[in-house]
Amino acid sequence: MTSTAKKVPIPRNGVDYRGKIVLAPMVRSGECPSRLLALKYGADLVWGPETIDKALIGTTRHENPTTKTVDFTRQSSNGAKNPAINADQRESVIYRLHPEREGRRLIYQIGTSNPETAVEAAKLVAPDVAGIDVNAGCPKPFSTIGGMGAALLKTPDKLCSILSALVKEVGEPNEIGISVKIRILETEEETKALVTKLCATGITGLTVHCRTTPMRPRERAIRDQLRMVADVCREAGVACLMNGDVASREEAVGLISEYGVDGAMIATAAETNPSVFRTKPEGGKAPWEEVVKEYVKTAIEVENRWGNTKYLLGQMIPGKQPAYKAMMATKSYSDLVKVLDYQEEFGEMAKDVDKRLDIGEFEKPKLTKAERKAAAKQAEKEKEPQRTPTAAGIKRTADAAELDMPPDVARDRGPASVPEQASALAV
């Protein structure tokens, strides 16, 4: 590349993907502590896990003074039919980020199949991130259902409409970049046509996963189309990142030079050991013991969901190590720091987090099946409509019976006024 190569302008609050080695978006493996650890070990940017637009819509943004994170939460759907059973149910964290430690190095990846819902969701998180990336590459059913993920590769016009809407209605007002992550298609001609269309939507970056949709991670990446994709992106001035079988920063640098791309993503290797982002002069790949300790500390600091922490440790601790079996038997952060011999350093922190997360010794007693049934019955009884005593017995009111009101009564109640019961049903 030359210094005169065309470049799409990078928005003021955005980031240029060129020259970057970044953490790939990974469901379960890309939560807040994983991203913070990748940055600590030298990742230039981090992608969050794909988050579906409809999951983010309706959340409330909270600034958590304890963890210093920004949390997008909603009331848990668990027990939603009978909220009286779980009146003190904690809110579910849909997305969590750390402004101080991630700053303008976090890219939010959105799962979507609709321009309107994509825009509605992206507007919520746009002020807190450096960019919005559309997932058009994940082949797993949870992503492709409803036309999202890799399914968008079969509907390129829809994908382009989503990107164009995000550029105009989210990117430009918030001065951040919009990008997309795709997979290669069966033929070079098909891929070239797709990339050309995508680059014309106003995006600042494009990542190509060098596998077709049917391929799985165990199959070797195919790079014979990579140079062509890089050339198309360069001609349009769009930054091009590659993904697929990149195991270290050194390997990423070599592939960038060989294929003429602008940057690279590391996925599986970083899931196992995020120190792969570190250069050899800086120490290179660290021993798993060091990385695990840093991860546990970080997970406690941001109060990461216990299930997610345990899952990640299952990827990071070698299965043949005694620590793996001991870790798998734990049920709380306090248990964890004890079996890993971190109690002196993290014991009090772990106990505080267990208390806030209601896990371990602080886990609230669970209702038995009979208790849940009785509570549900009581909740339904309390919701029963009031009845008016009459000479003939007890009669339901018109509201309770859901009868149509006479026009003059209806006018007295309106406009836009509905009975409480009708309102609940509408929701």
State pTM to two decimals.
0.84
**pLDDT at residue 373, as a whole number:** 77
**pLDDT at residue 392, as a whole number:** 53
| Count of Cβ atoms closer than 10 Å to residue 380 Cβ | 12
> Do 253 and 219 touch, CB atoms closer than 8 A?
no
Helices (H), ranges, 79-154? 99-102, 115-125, 141-144
Residues paired with residue 275 on neighbouring β-strands, in sequence order = none
Domains of the chain, first to last: 21-285 (3.20.20.70), 289-362 (no CATH), 389-426 (no CATH)
**Overall residue count recorded for the chain in this entry:** 427
- The set of residues, in sequence order, having a beta carbon less than 8 Å from that of 283 and lying 6+ positions away, is 275
In the chain, which residues have pLDDT < 50?
A: 1-3, 79-85, 87, 394-427
| Residue numbers annotated as active site | 138
User: What gap in Å lies between CA 237 and CA 9, rounded to an integer?
Assistant: 8
* Cis previous bond, 141, omega within 30: no
User: What gap in Å lies between CA 32 and CA 271, rounded to an integer?
Assistant: 13
**pLDDT at residue 125, as a whole number:** 98
> Do 63 and 335 touch, CB atoms closer than 8 A?
no
**pLDDT at residue 5, as a whole number:** 72
User: What percentage of the chain has pLDDT greater than the value 70?
Assistant: 84
Query: Helix, strand, or coil here: 183?
Result: strand
**pLDDT at residue 145, as a whole number:** 86
